[in-house]
């Protein structure tokens, strides 16, 4: 009896160690993970009611929604894409070489003007004036502050020198470049936010950054060891997994699968790289498009990027 008890305890320990520190998963012994019907991401695919299409392969992106204009902007390091509420592409600026994107806004700028993506056919609006507030003895805050209060929009440039920092101000429908002292900008810049002052934050029409609204993970299957402890290559710390998901855009259920990660341990922490981006609930009746972002942190990973989900 004691031998049987000890054998059972030893077997349980072996199972627990294997569960925690190998790709073995005891849960799949009793209920195997069936990936049939779960679609992998690709450049484009269709369901009964929707088209899912990759827009860009970049992961460092933001998807914005304008409630006033009822359109989306997908902003990425190489450019900007504008889509309507149904997810149909309206405009694309493919190269941002020499331009800077004012993140979280409908604007992008270069050394000669500003693009306003709210316009039906965006074109560059040239600067109509230049104001330099960097001269010694100039009270730049007083002059700048007065213009800031009256401005329709204020965004900050990125191409600055040691002496002056460019700010783009829209007044009465016209854009002006205002230069302020760079050292003053650095002293007052907003912590954790690029190219913005605490005293004078950017001003622009409201845009909503789409957030991950939660995606249902149905099953997880451990695949192989992804990372091991430093100087201990036989001790795994993380596994690569296959994660099965379900989403329901506009009421149509979709089954998807993608890579994920899971830390070691009996029920180690899981990391999902697939995100379902939607507008805030208050605007669900105005739009039919939503987005997927897959951001697995491996360069040139083929499924990486932003996808639009739109009705056929």
What confidence tens digit (pLDDT) does each residue in 271-311 have?
Answer: 999 999 999 999 999 999 999 999 987 666 789 999 999 99
- 160 lies in the same domain as 278: no
Report how far Cα 95 is from the mean position of its chain's Cα atoms: 19
- 166 lies in the same domain as 223: no
290 neighbors 221 (Cβ within 8 angstroms): no
Mean pLDDT lowest among 19-28, 174-183, 251-260: 19-28
pLDDT beyond 80 at 72: yes
Q: How many domains does the chain have?
A: 2
- 21 lies in the same domain as 94: no
Domain range enclosing 67: 60-209
Q: Tell me, what's the pLDDT at 74? A: 95
pLDDT beyond 60 at 238: yes
What is the rounded distance in angstroms from the CA atom of residue 294 to the CA atom of residue 276?
A: 9
Identify the residue whose tokens are 């359109």.
71
In three state form, how does the secondary structure of 60-78 look? CCEEEEECCCCEEEEEECC
pLDDT beyond 70 at 4: no
Rounded mean pLDDT, 182-195: 74
pLDDT band at 98; cut points 50, 70, 90: low
- 94 lies in the same domain as 83: yes
Rounded mean pLDDT, 220-238: 85
- 90 lies in the same domain as 50: no
pLDDT band at 191; cut points 50, 70, 90: low
- 102 lies in the same domain as 35: no
Contacts of 258 (CB under 8 A, 6+ apart): 40, 41, 242, 243, 245, 272, 273, 274, 294, 296, 303
pLDDT beyond 60 at 15: no
- 221 lies in the same domain as 269: yes
- 230 lies in the same domain as 267: yes
């Amino acid at each position: 009896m004691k031998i049987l008890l000890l054998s059972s305890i030893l077997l349980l320990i072996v199972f627990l160690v294997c569960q925690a520190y190998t790709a073995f998963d005891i849960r799949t012994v009793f209920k195997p993970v069936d990936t049939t019907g779960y679609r992998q991401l690709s450049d484009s695919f269709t369901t009964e009611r929707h088209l899912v299409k990759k827009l860009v392969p970049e992961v460092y992106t933001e998807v914005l929604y304008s409630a006033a204009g009822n359109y989306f902007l997908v902003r990425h390091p190489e450019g900007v894409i504008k889509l309507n509420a149904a997810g149909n592409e309206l405009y694309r600026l493919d190269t941002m070489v020499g331009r800077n994107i004012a993140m979280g806004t409908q604007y992008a700028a270069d050394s000669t003007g500003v693009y306003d993506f709210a316009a039906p056919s965006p074109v560059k609006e040239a600067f109509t004036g230049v104001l330099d507030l960097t001269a010694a003895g100039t009270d730049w805050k007083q002059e700048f502050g007065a213009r800031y209060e009256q401005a329709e929009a204020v965004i900050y440039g990125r191409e600055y020198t040691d002496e002056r920092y460019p700010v783009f101000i829209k007044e009465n429908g016209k854009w002006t470049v205002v230069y302020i002292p760079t050292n003053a900008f650095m002293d007052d810049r907003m912590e954790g936010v690029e190219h913005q002052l605490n005293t004078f934050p950017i001003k622009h029409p409201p845009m909503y950054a789409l957030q991950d609204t939660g995606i249902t993970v149905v099953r997880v299957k451990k695949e192989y060891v992804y990372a091991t402890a430093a100087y201990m290559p036989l001790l795994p710390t993380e596994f690569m997994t296959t994660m099965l998901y379900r989403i329901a855009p506009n009421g149509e259920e979709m089954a998807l699968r993608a890579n994920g990660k899971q830390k070691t341990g009996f029920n180690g922490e899981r990391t999902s790289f697939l995100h379902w981006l939607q507008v805030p609930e208050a605007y669900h009746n105005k739009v039919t498009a939503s987005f997927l972002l897959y951001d697995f942190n491996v360069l040139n990973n083929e499924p990486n990027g932003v996808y639009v989900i739109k009705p056929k």
